[in-house]
Amino acid sequence: MPVHFVRELDTLKRKVLSLASMVEENLQHAVHALEKGDAQLARRLISSDIEIDHMEVEIEEECLKILALHQPVANDLRFIVAVIKINSDLERIGDLAVNIAERAEYLADGRALSERFNFATMAEAAQTMLRQSLDSLVELDAALARKVCADDEKVDAFNRRIYEQVKEAMKENPEEVDTLTHILAASRHIERVGDHATNIAEDVIYMVEGRIARHRPENYRATNPASNGPCRE
């Protein structure tokens, strides 16, 4: 394998991990702003998303250049295909962090109502999924990727619980419908983070094993009989 090709692949991996670090940090800040009612932090985060967008485009262009110039095959081709998809999911998580920050900015004035809903546990579960999906990418650990997939149901369950709580609160406090709508949106954004973390985990399984895991539960457990359950279908 040509030395310059190896160097380009290493550079691409470093760029993806750098983007992942930025996205993870932005998500942490967005959740903190939501939990603490920090409108100032939320506004700073909203204005910082442009850097993530630029890096996402740069990584995609790098992938397309490598495909055109080197025509990789086998493991190298799977790596680049997976990076293109993971790159897109990371950018979407960055967008979701902005969406959460926007909800946090609005809800900062309605803390008494928003504090009735437990975002902390749900957000921690979603952040753990993202962190472990990225760890599985770094370590090329398909077993950890399967765990991330199985954990998505926990985040979904938290979202369903908040949905039911918001529905009851709207009946009891119809005058607070605008605030409650923002609370419901924040919950949905956090739930979507879990979905994108699952996508990353599925792409890691593909990268490592050459198996397309989406919508095929038999592949989620193929090399890991002790798996806790299937990925999201």
pLDDT at residue 112, as a whole number: 64
pLDDT at 232: 45
Q: Is 227 a member of any domain?
A: no
Is the pTM of the predicted complex or chain greater than 0.85?
yes
Q: Do the domain assignments include residue 225?
A: no
Indicate whether 233 belongs to any domain: no
Q: Provide the pLDDT for residue 1.
A: 64
Per-residue confidence (pLDDT) for residue 224, from 0 to 100: 41
- The CATH number covering residue 34 comes to 1.20.58.220
226 domain-assigned = no
Q: Is residue 72 part of a domain?
A: yes
CA nearest to 188, candidates 141, 138, 119? 119
Q: What is the per-residue pLDDT for 115?
A: 73
For residue 229, being part of any structural domain is answered with no
- The total number of structural domains that make up the chain: 1
Q: Which domain holds residue 101?
A: 3-220
Mean pLDDT per 10-residue interval, the chain, length 233 residues: 85 94 95 91 89 95 93 89 96 97 88 76 95 94 95 95 93 91 95 97 93 65 40 43
SS3 assignment for the chain: CCHHHHHHHHHHHHHHHHHHHHHHHHHHHHHHHHHHCCHHHHHHHHHCHHHHHHHHHHHHHHHHHHHHHHCCCHHHHHHHHHHHHHHHHHHHHHHHHHHHHHHHHHHHHHHHHHCCCCHHHHHHHHHHHHHHHHHHHHHCCHHHHHHHHHHHHHHHHHHHHHHHHHHHHHHHCHHHHHHHHHHHHHHHHHHHHHHHHHHHHHHHHHHHHCCCCCCCHHHHCCCCCCCCCCCCC
Which pLDDT score is estimated for 233? Answer: 37
Q: How many C-beta atoms surround the C-beta of residue 35 within 10 A?
A: 15
The answer to whether residue 228 sits within a structural domain is no
- pLDDT for residue 223: 43
Q: Is residue 231 part of a domain?
A: no
What is the pLDDT at residue 95? 97
